[in-house]
Amino acid sequence: MVPLSFKWVSLALVAGALNALAAAPAAAQGTVRRHLVYFRDKAGTPFSVAQPQAFLSARSLTRRTRQGIAVLPRDLPVNPAYVAQIRAVTGGPQVLYTSRWFNAAVVSCDSLTLTRIMALPKVSRASTLNRSYRAPAPFTTPTQLPEPAARGTLATRAQYGPAYRQNQQIGALAMHDAGFRGDGMQIAVFDAGFPGTDTISALRPLFQEQRLASTRNFVDGGTSVYGRSDHGTNCLSTMAANKPGFFIGTAPKATFHLCITEDVYSEHPIEEANWLAAAEYADSVGVDVISSSLGYTDFDAPSVSYTYADLTGRNAISSRAATMAARVGMLVVSAAGNEGNHAWRYVSAPADADSIMSVGAVDSLGNHAVFSSYGPTADGRIKPTLSAMGQATAVLSPNGGAYRGNGTSFACPVLAGMAAGFWQANPTLTAQQVIVALRSTATQAIAPDNTLGYGIPNFVTAYNALHPTAPLATSPAAAGANDALRLYPNPIGSGLLTLVLPAALRGQPLKVRVLDARGAVVAQQQLPAADGDEASLRLAPLAKGNYICEVSTGSTRRTVKFVQQ
């Protein structure tokens, strides 16, 4: 996690769509600030929803079509004539970028020039986004440290290195073993900088395999992202690293877009506007998943901080932007926040947004990390949505070394990478259906709370719920040995389920026992020898909760966990 003195960075083409971000503004007569200027309408725009290819990429349109999402007037770029009117105002205002979704522009100018802009007939209102601008300190390229030689060929601790447990906890080992590593999926990472990404050997496959699709710097302008804070490097590594025998992330074959939106040297709403611009950029180039380990509650004076009452998902700029990103079919994954043991306590923006996946932090044993922010949102919705390993999470530093860090910032990309692989495995799902599938099969699906949300998701559990007739084994080792007991559906509702028997239990009478979470036997019966590898089991009604099904014959015994809804 970024030190608290930095504020918490939540340890977190297309012509016409976005204007290029300019360099830091030069001094003017008055103090130059950045403002979000809203327009009254999009009347007279040369763009049309009937020809979206003029402002959205083919990949973006395909993503929408696949999910039944229409291109709407909200997607149309700002009328270029309105932008030209602002640029023509006396005082030399700079339009840094525009927002399709908000029908607005981020403008850099002094207060007198802003007054002239506000007098334009097509301008409705404006809000000041920052009070100062500080250029980043020079970043020195870190010394590259030697890494241990690669070892191991299976999904073992040796192969994954220190990243083993954070992958295992959410079923990513089995996901990779089944061939789902994020191939063909595109993930945008919004953060504060990515130093070392272009030199770390564990991230070299991104460049060798041409899976770094783009870079954008919405703070300084341009495309340079290999400087500023190393927080983005840490987060990216939990997904993208791919060096067997040293470190493997949760989406080691995905394609990435790196966006700097956060300025760790100050805290003002301009960073939320940067988040908005990055989300629209991600939409325009066809991104599938946004991973954002950023959060906003307190701003530097005189910018006005949020209160808990603001966290409805409809107030903060970044939360409104996240909701819009979800509505156009992207899966938005946001760190919940690191305020669980501080006065604020609750999740931050944009984690309060509706229709996104807000991620809390747990330790390697699945216990709530004390710093992980709690829900609910101000309007009573459960947050976080899900949880993943964010305490003692393995990450890479800019010099290529691995270390462990704390923060929902790290839980967020760990889970975002698994979600990308899950979507790869289930390509007909919509982004919202991906959230539902992971949420409804997580460890607290029956009794969600505002500590862990719906709990810790697992790729295998969620996948098998969608594919009951062709389930995956619960672990790579079990899959290889064909020795695991499985059942479906899981969770169950009616009490009728099917056991998938390993070879050791086939062709002979079986004894079945069902044990509750305390280990007490709540049901048992005898089953005749099965002809094939499946046997039907009808249970009497069970109370909602977690159970273990134990099947045995002679000295051979196998168990499998299931959930009664």
Query: Any idea which residues carry the catalytic annotation?
Result: 191, 231, 409
Of 548, 556, 469, the closest CA to residue 509 belongs to 556
For residue 536, the SS3 value is strand
Which positions ≥6 away from 423 have C-beta within 8 Å?
185, 288, 289, 331, 429, 431, 434
* β-strands 496-500, 510-515 pairing: unpaired
364 is written with which tokens? 């390697």
- For the beta carbon of residue 496, count every other beta carbon within 10 angstroms: 11
Report whether 98 contacts 91 (CB < 8 A).
no
Please give the Cα distance from 407 to 318 (Å, whole number): 20
Residue found under tokens 């611009």: 277
Query: Which residues, at least 6 apart from 388, have a Cβ–Cβ distance to it below 8 Å?
Result: 166, 169, 170, 359, 361, 362, 411, 412, 414, 415, 418, 456, 457
Alpha carbon distance 148, 96 (integer Å):
45
**Helices 408-425, 431-440: inter-axial angle, 10-degree rounding:** 110
Residue 58: count other Cβ atoms within 10 Å of its Cβ. 10
Strands (E), 201-269: 212-217, 242-243, 247-248, 255-260
Helix, strand, coil abundance in the chain, percent, nearest 5: 25, 25, 50
Structure-block tokens of residue 531: 């002809």
For 358, the enclosing helix (H) or strand (E) is strand 357-362
From edge to edge, which strands make up the β-sheet containing 496-500? 486-488, 496-500, 534-538
Q: CA nearest 49: which of 19, 23, 69?
A: 69
Question: Hey, what amino acid is at 188?
Answer: A
List, in order, residues 6 or more apart from 536 with CB less than 8 Å away.
496, 497, 498, 499
User: Which of 387, 454, 462, 456 shows the shortest CA–CA distance to 429?
Assistant: 462
Radius of gyration for the chain, computed over Cα atoms and rounded to the nearest angstrom: 25
Distances (CA, A) of 216 to 6, 119, 136, 268: 22, 33, 16, 20
User: Which tokens sit at 361?
Assistant: 């932090």
